[in-house]
Chains A and B, each alone.
Chain A
Amino acid sequence: MHTGGFPWLTVLIFLPLAGAGALFLVKETHARAMALVITVADFLLALPLWWLFDSSSSHMQFVEHVQWITSPPIHYSLGVDGISLPLVLMTALLMPLCVLISWESITTRVRTFMSVLLVMEGAMIGVFIALDFVLFYVFWEAMLIPMYLLIGVWGGPNRLYAAMKFFLYTLVGSMLLLVAVLVLYFYGGHTFDILALSQVTYPASLQMWLFWAFFAAFAVKVPMFPFHTWLPDAHVEAPTAGSVILASVLLKMGAYGFVRFSLPMLPDASRMMTPLMAALSITAIIYGAYMALAQVDLKKLIAYSSVSHMGFVTLGLFVMNQEGIEGAVMQMVNHGITTGALFLCVGMIYDRTHSRLISDNAGLAKPMPRYATFFVIFTLSSLGLPGTNSFVGEFLVLVGTFLWSKAATAIASLGIILAAVYLLYMVQRIAFGVPSPRELPRLQDIGHRESGTLVPLVVLVFWIGLFPNPLVSRMHASVTKTLETMARARVAPTSHPSATHRPPVLLTATGESQAGRP
């Protein structure tokens, strides 16, 4: 499935990376404009993939496959399917918005900031499209340092603590992932090829170990219930662009890891762990919602709402049926759009009042009508109002959960009600409360730059909410294939890896022709 022509995916990764270096060749004052140009260009280059993508095919598309390290055989191997395509597009869309929102709020070391953003973009897109496990790991880890700098250099007063906490939490998880990758290499026929490794049936006990190693890396990133404590800290201290990236893209990587690696590679362990994972997810849904209820800080509130919403994602993934997984991927994209937008909104108000407390920012509908409109739309989207994007994803997840367990569905649905409670309570105070006279003079409505930041997201909220089909149809084949991969492994749960589904062993440079990659 090689498109043969233009190396779309390589360009998507390396344009921002090259741009990050090139920023140091221009004047500090031009850094913003240049970063905007680069991120917009990257988005425009990502956009054609939407139409060029063949949604009837479950194969990886736009594949690029080059030997990178000869011994052991590690490949520079890229490709997208229906699961990664929406995530890549979402990332590429959000980055120009992150540049825009930082236009005036970042005043120190602007050039370095923009360059760090661009490095992040390259690494994040790389995570979603890497088809070699080591390459994936390199991108996955390479994100840590720029994110660490983003929080630690340009963050709030308690940024050092938050940055280090984020860094260490995610690093410990990733380290166990590396061990799992190496173990897979030796059990999976001496290859790091993600697709080949997904065809191997691993012994049940090994699957269990690997599952927990994967879990350590992915659950921290999602974050799943007991490992979520870094998130509120990181969100509160990060600059707006950092919060948006964290919420919209970084959290998706954990969920992406589950659907790309845990489910297809370790189907038996995943099936065995379903009750536990579902229980953790539902706990996250309810617990996150309750925590959100109690927050007085806007960013913290949205951070806990993320914990709750990401609970739906992991719930959908682990009920392991078509509706659940499709809903989960939808929810990943929707959460990226909606929560990203909410963080943008919080950033805008913080630029004006320098406070994130709800009480300091009450009653904005009068002085800032345009802002309040956007804010209400995104809030309604976040609580899953029909007609907005989040409804589609959460509905699908709940349908999938219903097929698995009615009781679980009932409890998880409570999360939606609680979301309505905390979000409406928030919007009631922010938009329609009584403004504090102290803040009123500072409240200018949002200008063109800020409106421009939010408009694309509003469009997406309604477009996905009203016409989810183009998105669902693109991921349909890939989700079906994921489920088939899982079912196929189930046929022979006890058979040795060498039996039937063993991929060609890629030991030598010549033996890696990989004709007809699945």
Chain B
Amino acid sequence: MTSYGSDLIVILPELIVVAAACLVFVLDPLTPHSRKELLAWLSLGSLALCIGLTGGQISVLNLRLPAFSDLVVVDGYARFWKLLLYGVTGLTILMSLPYLKAEGLHLGEYYGFILLALSGMMVMVSGADLLTIYLGTELMSLSLYVMAGLKRASPRSLEASAKYFVLGAFSSGLLLYGISLLYGLTGSTRLSAIADALGTKGFDDPLLLIATILLTVGFGFKLAVVPFHMWTPDVYQGAPTAVTAFMAVASKAASFAAFLRVFVEGLGGLRADWSNLFVVLCVITLVLGNVVAIVQTNIKRMLAYSSIAHAGYALIGLVAAGRAAGESGGTSGIASVMLYLAFYAFMTLGAFAVIAMFRKGGLEGEDIDDYAGLAKRQPVAALMMLVFMVSLAGIPPTAGFLGKFYVFMAAVEAGLSWLAAVALIFAAVSAYYYMRVVMLMYMREPEAGVIDSPRLVTSPALSIVLACAVAGVILLGLYPNPVVSLALQSVLMLR
């Protein structure tokens, strides 16, 4: 029993976030409707506390703190992702404040659900046991299902929530099925124990392949890689924009973190098999995500397909890690995935923040055509959107370029130059639809005769989000050294 005390200290950030979430739920009915932003500040305060706790350990990145007999572990890898998730969550809350007010949805529970989702993600990135990871995934997903349906008056939002729930539950079932098969084969759900068992047992059991595939499918849904992406466009479009941003960035990052840990720490022995599997997923994801994004007319749908494509780029890093020769331990591949998602977070959050502030006659301006002539009416916002689009397209000197650079570097190092070439060709394809937004903003006149022309609703909170995102995209594009060294120090090693 004595060890529990130290275990609780290890998961102190998670406890703080959960406590803050409960506090929000309790305080919500007691807060008058006009003062709901107090709950947002409370949530931000808890995040600040967590950033202090996790950030304080940054100097001891290699320190590995297991807890609850190896069910969770706080290592450098977990800290890297947690810091990213705190940042993303904080910016999402700031973005939500004005957005929810404008939408007439300013509900206190919202912040509670965000914090609950965050705690689920934190468990995911720290989970050292398949069951812990599963629990974290479920906690995150259940909160997100609710958040997606927040716009109760909008059929789209409800459809998004229902679709997300049904498909999400289905994929969770597959994930659980895979976990149970692995348990049956190896006698444990602990990643380290699974790795040991696989290391000695050999890999020719067909059940093992099935288990690997089931795990891939389960995670594939969360990551939105093709062919498990079907829910993404509808959910991204229907959910409130702030929630979409949160799903596109935080949920994707946390899912990638858990996915990497399971396949690297647990199934590292099977890397030859899963890297073959992922090559296929990766290529079809890149092709479908980028090609289908071209024909979208709704900007949220377009960004949904773009986020699918970006998952494809990140996946390249994992494939490279699996293929890389033993001596490097796939370090550069895994670090490249971490960096990719960190860079991706800023540009995607920024793009969604611009969308969130864009309003047309009381509704969200979601048509890409609504952006026509934005540079004339709102030069600063248009310039920011330009930066985000350029970064998403992977053009230097932005963070998006460096993200791709590291991923492709890992691919070439692993002898996958052809994959890098294919991915780069599709990056050029993606530039078409990102540049189309730029074209509309800068080179088209706003449609004449529209009385209720689209406009931007600015607020201090949104300005902070945008400033952070732009600064992140440009500064990380020019000087990525701190983040790169952080990722390289906290990377997982393939055994």
Contacts and interface: CB of A to CB of B under 8 A. Distances in A.
Interface of A: 69-72, 112, 134, 137-138, 141-142, 144-145, 148-149, 152-153, 159-160, 163-164, 167-168, 171-172, 175-176, 178-179, 182-183, 185-186
Given A71-B488, A178-B424, A145 B397 contact: no
Closest 8 CB pairs of A and B: A175-B424, A138-B396, A182-B412, A152-B443, A172-B428, A171-B428, A141-B396, A179-B421
A152 B485 CA distance: 39
B44 interface: no
Interface stretch (B303-311, B343-351, B431-439): B431-439
Contacts of A159: 443
Which one of B390, B420, B428 has the highest number of Cβ atoms from chain A below 10 Å of its Cβ?
B428
A505 B162 CA distance: 56
Given A69-B484, A142-B395, A175-B428, A152 B442 contact: yes
B425 interface: yes
B395 A144 contact: yes
B81 interface: no
Contact of A182 (B408, B428, B432, B439): B408
Contacts of B432: 164, 168
14 contacts: A69-B481, A70-B481, A71-B488, A134-B405, A137-B396, A141-B395, A145-B386, A148-B435, A149-B438, A172-B425, A178-B405, A178-B408, A179-B412, A179-B420
Interface string B396-428: 110001000100110011000100110011011
B480 interface: yes
Contacts, number: 83
B388 to A, nearest CB: 13
B439 A183 contact: no
Contacts of A172: 425, 428
A178 B420 CA distance: 9
Contact of A185 (B397, B409, B439): B409
A69 B480 contact: yes
B439 A164 contact: yes
Contacts of B424: 175-176, 178-179
Nearest to B477: A138
A179 B421 CA distance: 6
Nearest to B478: A68
Interface in B459-495: 480-481, 484-485, 488
A100 B293 CA distance: 42
Nearest to B443: A152
Contacts of B395: 141-142, 144-145, 171
A142 B397 contact: yes
Contacts of A163: 439, 443
Nearest to A175: B424
Which one of A71, A72, A152, A171 has the highest number of Cβ atoms from chain B below 10 Å of its Cβ?
A171
Given A160-B443, A164-B432, A186 B413 contact: yes
Interface in B70-120: none
Contact of A152 (B420, B425, B431, B439): B439
A374 to B, nearest CB: 33
A179 B424 CA distance: 8
B84 to A, nearest CB: 19
A175 B421 CA distance: 8
Nearest to B379: A112
Contact of B435 (A137, A164, A185, A186): A164
Which one of A69, A145, A175 has the highest number of Cβ atoms from chain B below 10 Å of its Cβ?
A175
A182 B409 contact: yes
Given A70-B484, A142-B396, A175-B425, 14 more contacts: A71-B485, A112-B379, A138-B397, A141-B395, A142-B395, A145-B386, A145-B395, A148-B438, A149-B438, A152-B443, A159-B443, A160-B444, A175-B427, A182-B412
A386 to B, nearest CB: 44
Contacts of B481: 69-71
Nearest to B481: A70
Contacts of B405: 134, 178
Contacts of B420: 179, 182
Contact of A186 (B397, B412, B438): B412
A167 B480 CA distance: 27
Contacts of B444: 160
A178 B401 CA distance: 11
Contacts of B425: 172, 175-176
A182 B409 CA distance: 6
A182 B404 CA distance: 12
Which one of B397, B412, B442, B488 has the highest number of Cβ atoms from chain A below 10 Å of its Cβ?
B412
Contacts of A152: 439, 442-443
Contacts of A72: 409
Contact of A149 (B397, B401, B442, B484): B442
A172 B488 CA distance: 30
Contacts of B438: 148-149
Nearest to B432: A168
Contact of A145 (B390, B421, B484): B390
Nearest to B426: A175
Which one of B390, B396, B421, B485 has the highest number of Cβ atoms from chain A below 10 Å of its Cβ?
B396
Nearest to B419: A179
Contacts of A71: 481, 484-485, 488
Which one of A145, A153, A160 has the highest number of Cβ atoms from chain B below 10 Å of its Cβ?
A145
Contacts of B480: 69
Given A142-B397, A145-B390, A183-B412, A168 B431 contact: yes
Contacts of A178: 405, 408, 424
Contacts of A112: 379
Nearest to A74: B405
B161 to A, nearest CB: 38
Contacts of A167: 431, 435
B417 A70 contact: no
Contacts of B439: 152, 160, 163-164
A472 B25 CA distance: 79
A488 to B, nearest CB: 26
B408 A179 contact: yes
Contacts of B442: 149, 152-153
Contacts of A69: 480-481, 484
B160 to A, nearest CB: 33
Nearest to A177: B424
Contacts of A168: 428, 431-432
Nearest to B383: A112
A101 to B, nearest CB: 22
A109 to B, nearest CB: 8
Contacts of B412: 179, 182-183, 185-186
B382 to A, nearest CB: 10
A280 B428 CA distance: 26
A167 B379 CA distance: 22
B401 to A, nearest CB: 7
A47 B438 CA distance: 37
Nearest to B410: A182
Contacts of A137: 396
Nearest to A67: B481
B88 to A, nearest CB: 24
A183 B444 CA distance: 40
A148 B431 CA distance: 12
Nearest to B487: A71
B198 to A, nearest CB: 31
A98 to B, nearest CB: 20
Contacts of B390: 145
A171 B431 contact: yes
B485 A70 contact: yes
Interface string B291-303: 0000000000000
Nearest to A111: B379
Interface string B344-386: 0000000000000000000000000000000000010000001
Nearest to B386: A145
A144 B389 CA distance: 13
Nearest to A155: B443
Contact of A183 (B401, B417, B488): B417
